Structure 1
């Protein structure tokens, strides 16, 4: 199974947010979509997942076009942190909704993760801190059993313990080789030790596609010492 994005384009308010973006993702990967704020990372995720209609291009999962075959959307999961409609709902109510949307929803995994992180079914999202909300979003995403998970800045502003818990869940999920996770972030450094691949987004286009393992293998460290405090022009 593979997810293929082909020539995907999207304009918002006459601004070209996505410009003929193409890439393919197989299973068993953690992929980072990296770029500055405002370059189109969230727009890309919303367009892939059908929240926005694309102006051009296709999104296919295992050869099925998600625009013309809506059932294939259950292979994708994107819980948009910026447009969440469940702030007043309890965890149990949200669970019921996602059970209906995702036929393979894993109740046992969902409840096990809730119990591990001391969350209860009667809690409401509006009472969650930013960290707890981020953690719950991850738990809900992995429980859908969708092969492709999209996470928008899931580590931004979280404390070290919450970050560790989230990364632990994601690494465990990908280790099975049966799903992939795509993470949008403006900070490559925070993803570097986790992702297998980095897609660099700039001006609505993928400008680089880095396989981090091969980059690490070929990397060389060079230490430079200067006679004075001036950096030579050639180095600049």
Structure 2
């Protein structure tokens, strides 16, 4: 483990700290009406970091063994067909989200998951699963560890440290919110009002984009490759 490698891993972890799961969702907890649900936010971050550490170690182990079955499995026509159907379904579903209808579905969903212990755990796992394919910095970090030829204990400790750095900004924001206290209530309430008013539309765009990318990738592999 060289200083250059450690610096590269830290940089990648900080990039990962700005994702939906590591930054946006924690802000949901802090922006929810009433007192900050610090305990539930801490539980969410702990589950998310643990999930990525376990998955990262599994991916490192497979890569260390030179497993290449995954890429061949992904390119199977049946898998690509399922991906195409899923992408088209997500794209069609995205049109259901529209803040102008006044339904505020996302706000109600947020309230349920942030006030329930089971909801917090489920949210962390679903967020982690949904972001795995897009967390290129994390996959790059695993590749660096494989290339460096580190031992299993070193890889495990490094991945845990990576995940802690990944959630550090959210933890720092939470600490600041607790330290400042009610002085931030006004700005946070106004931000929450703006975000909540547009939440359905934003989620619709995200779901639509993900669906389009999945469908386009599958269609390219099935019909044009």
TM-score tier after normalising by the smaller chain length: under 0.3
TM-score w.r.t. length of structure 1: 0.22
Larger proportion of strand = 1
